[in-house]
Amino acid sequence: MLKIESKDKFKPVKFGDSDKARIGDWVLAIGNPFGLGGTVTSGIISAKNRNLSGAITRYEDFIQTDASINVGNSGGPLFDTQGNVIGINTAILGQSGSIGIGFSIPSNSAKIIIDQLIEFGETKRGWLGVRIQYVTKEIADVEGLDKPRGALVASVAKESPADKAGIKSGDIILEFNGTSIKEMNELPKIVAQTEVGKTVELKVWRNKIEIIKKIKLGRLETSSDFKVAKKKKDPNISEIKSLKISVRVLNEKDIEERKLPKQTTGLVITNIQNDSPINYLKVNNIITEAQKKKIRSINGLEKIIKSVLKSSEKTLLISIYNNQNQRRYIGVKLD
């Protein structure tokens, strides 16, 4: 944000509605590439709702364009053919210069941030306080959903707005304040763009029925991330042949060193075979639930697996803590 004090009169550009921009629409980019001075390039909108690597992408959907954008274009406007700004040029793919793939922050997202900076001098993004993951076909089958959709709640931050409203791990958020959540990555962006302190309705899928929860949003900037902690290995190891992994029982020292909730129970993974159906997990991940039941012993997990193998679906739903103490749900097809 810049404030200009001058006797000169300026005619500001107008923001357009980036939501109405379509793939294939012609656009113009203006900037100062490589310090050459004012430069105009043209192209089309190549894609919308692009995600880039980095923390900001959890809360923004970028417009992709093939209009030449180079070093020095950042902050410049992306115009539609009516002369309205529909994006702010932000990033390029590749470090040596334009290769026809550039990215702009949509004007609708930018306007929200600009208004906040003018009023508060800082950003204020909405915050639920949940860690979420994709709803896979296997998870949708186990949960009785008609198709994979929504955002699966892997964990809920203590004393967060979601925690106070009664949101639980394993819930699937289908709708946020009247907006359907088709995929997991849509939810953080919608929440972040919602006014802090606003009370919203969440449509949640729990135990194969829809329920409504009202939540007063907190502020993202005041939240804290989960911290990584190390744990010590235990020699009491057993093999779960059906999963092709080795595990040991979680103990009190693990809980203390990992700073997990005191009531946590489960099995620590000590080895994963290459052909394991969960070979994408990591050693030291902790299996805490299977089929929504707490795991307290190796025998307990094996009994649940045997029951699943006798079923027609043969789909096992497990809950884990990964090595960053983030909770995740995973659907596993068993042979």
Each of the 335 residues of the chain gets a pLDDT tens digit; together they read: 778 889 999 888 999 999 999 999 999 999 888 778 889 999 999 998 887 654 445 666 899 999 988 877 888 999 999 999 999 998 877 655 567 788 999 999 888 888 888 888 888 888 999 999 999 999 999 999 999 999 999 999 998 999 999 999 999 999 999 999 998 988 988 898 888 899 999 999 999 999 999 999 998 877 764 333 334 444 578 999 999 999 999 999 999 999 999 999 999 999 998 888 998 899 999 999 999 999 999 999 999 999 999 988 899 999 999 999 999 999 998 87
43 vs 26: CA distance, rounded Å: 6
Q: Helix, strand, or coil here: 174? A: strand
Helices (H), 5-92: none
Q: Kindly state the tokens that stand for 32.
A: 């100062």
For residues 325 and 260, give the distance between their C-alpha atoms in angstroms, rounded to a whole number.
8
Which residue shows structure tokens 């707005």? 161
pTM of the predicted structure, to 2 decimals: 0.58
Residues of the chain with CATH 2.30.42.10: 126-222, 238-333
Structure tokens at 120: 């508060």
Q: Is the distance from CB of 332 to CB of 318 less than 8 angstroms?
A: yes
Side chain identity, residue 119? E
* CA separation for the pair 199, 180 (Å, rounded): 17
The CATH label, of 2.40.10.10, 3.40.50.10440, 2.40.50.100, 3.40.50.620, for the domain at 18-120 is: 2.40.10.10
| CATH domain 238-333 topology | Pdz3 Domain (2.30.42)
Q: Which fold has domain 126-222?
A: Pdz3 Domain (2.30.42)
SS3 state at 301? helix
Identify the burial level of 246 via C-beta atoms within 10 angstroms of its C-beta, where 0-12 means exposed, 13-18 middle and 19 or more buried. middle
Query: How many residues can be counted in the chain?
Result: 335
CATH 2.40.10.10: which residues of the chain?
18-120
State the Cα–Cα distance between residues 78 and 31, nearest whole angstrom: 9
**Which residues does 23 contact at the CB level (< 8 Å), separation at least 6?**
44, 45, 46, 47, 48
